[in-house]
Amino acid sequence: MQKFGFIGLGIMGSAMAKNLVRAGFDVMVWNRSPRKCDELVALGAQRAATPREVAEACPITFAMLADPAAAEEVCFGKNGVLEGIGDGRGYVDMSTVDPATSQRIGVAVVAKGGRFLEAPVSGSRKPAEDGTLIILAAGDRTLYDEAMPGFERMGKKVLHLGDVGKGAEMKLVVNMMMGGMMAIFCEGLALGGEAGLAHDDILDVVAAGAMANPMFALKGKLMGEGNFAPAFPLKHMQKDLRLAVALGDRVGQPLFTAATANELFKRARAAGLGDEDFSALFKATTP
């Protein structure tokens, strides 16, 4: 059975790695907080002491990390992936980072004799648990093909978008739109509430028309219940909006709405909502 490494066992990575283990793959895991490996080890995964150990032992290593700083630390840091990669082994970074970070990591991996693929995902906790993520890959095509058995256990749709950087750009575009949708949704619910409209009635009207979508249906219900348990932490959405605005600067594309949404999410982070679900933006829009 194919062997995979998996680095980064947060909300998303833990669920993704579990799907690989449950599919019968030989999986080696590492996380900065070792206790997060315990559940995977109990399911049959091997525990590694360092990212280097994972990259040395596994033909293909997946990583799912919080932000560009974490992705670079795991790759370039002491006992990092770069110290263990080589001999054609593959590194697949599924973190959401800016294109420049992905390209720096890719160049370094290839220079050490490895192969690199970026593969950020669209989806949050439930799709990660269900193996129904959308995987936005770019980079080494042979590695893409060899990683496909793992991708198929983690996602329902897998795309190869071209050279390294294109996957990151696609993810930022998608998350930018999602963050903007959430911002106006929260403001609409807040406005309706202040005007005396029932929360459920607003959701019913939205669900019956052209704006109906799964995110509004799911998050709207949870928001009405006051449930902001993190499926996609607010701090990560703000990070993605910031990176999308930076991409707009780089290519010369004005992003008026995205920039405003970013400021709203920054305000929510400053209010201490960063570790709650990104729908907790609602709390920052209500008086």
Short-list 111, 115, 5, CA closest to 57: 5
User: Which residues have CB under 8 Å from 211's CB, separation 6+?
Assistant: none
Q: Which listed residue (171, 219, 239, 283) is catalytic?
A: 171
- Beta-bridge mates of residue 133: 155
d(CA 136, CA 215): 20
d(CA 248, CA 242): 10
**CB distance 39 to 14 below 8 Å:** yes
d(CA 174, CA 36): 29
State the first-to-last Cα distance of the chain, in angstroms, to the nearest integer: 56
Known catalytic residue at 126? no
DSSP string, 14-66: HHHHHHHHHTT-EEEEE-SSGGGGHHHHHHTPEE-SSHHHHHHH-SEEEE--S
d(CA 108, CA 114): 9
What are the tokens at 253?
A: 């594309």
In the numeric block, the tokens 């989806």 are attached to: 123
Active site residues: 171
